[in-house]
Amino acid sequence: MQKLEVINFMKKIKAYYQTFSMEDYVVKEWQDRLKPYDIEDVYAKLDQHLRGEQHDQIPKLHYITKFLKTPEEKTKAKCNDYLICCNLCSQEMPLSEYDNKHFDRCSSINYLLRIMKEKGMKVEYQDLENLDEIKFQKVYEKYKKY
Ligand SMILES: [Zn+2]
């Protein structure tokens, strides 16, 4: 991230947390530490924090950079990626996709399918897989109680 981008990023944090310090030495530290990372990743991390359980606390620099990958590290990770087969739905996909989102979604789909079929509903894996995240969450919330 560029220095100015980091300042704008910190201003955004300040908008949510008025006591967030933007003194020179703090800004300097954030600029140094965030420099290697992509702006989208950093903002995504803040969004995650704002939606998370700790959202009443000011996000720490340590939290923002945790698990983030620099562009070089991301390229490297891609090269190490290999195709795997999901043991629940038998679809083939890169390991990173499986780890990042497929596993959770696929487990939830299989769980829902079982419940919905027990209730005599005609529903296929594909129907649930095609739902966007928000709709899927709604269906999940509705049926997980049963
Ligand atoms: Zn699967």
pLDDT digits (tens, 9 = 90+) for 89-139: 999 998 888 988 899 999 999 999 999 999 999 999 999 999 998 999 999
Distance, CA 124 to ligand 1 centroid (Å)? Answer: 13
Distance, CA 133 to ligand 1 centroid (Å)? Answer: 16
pLDDT at 76 over 90: no
Tokens describing residue 71: 């562009």
Contact 10, 27 (CB under 8 A): yes
The pLDDT value recorded for residue 96 is 87
The pLDDT value recorded for residue 144 is 80
**For 35-55, what is the mean pLDDT?**
94
SS3 (DSSP) at 83: strand
Please identify which residue in the block is written with the tokens 């990958």.
Answer: 69
Tokens describing residue 100: 């990042």
pTM value is: 0.57
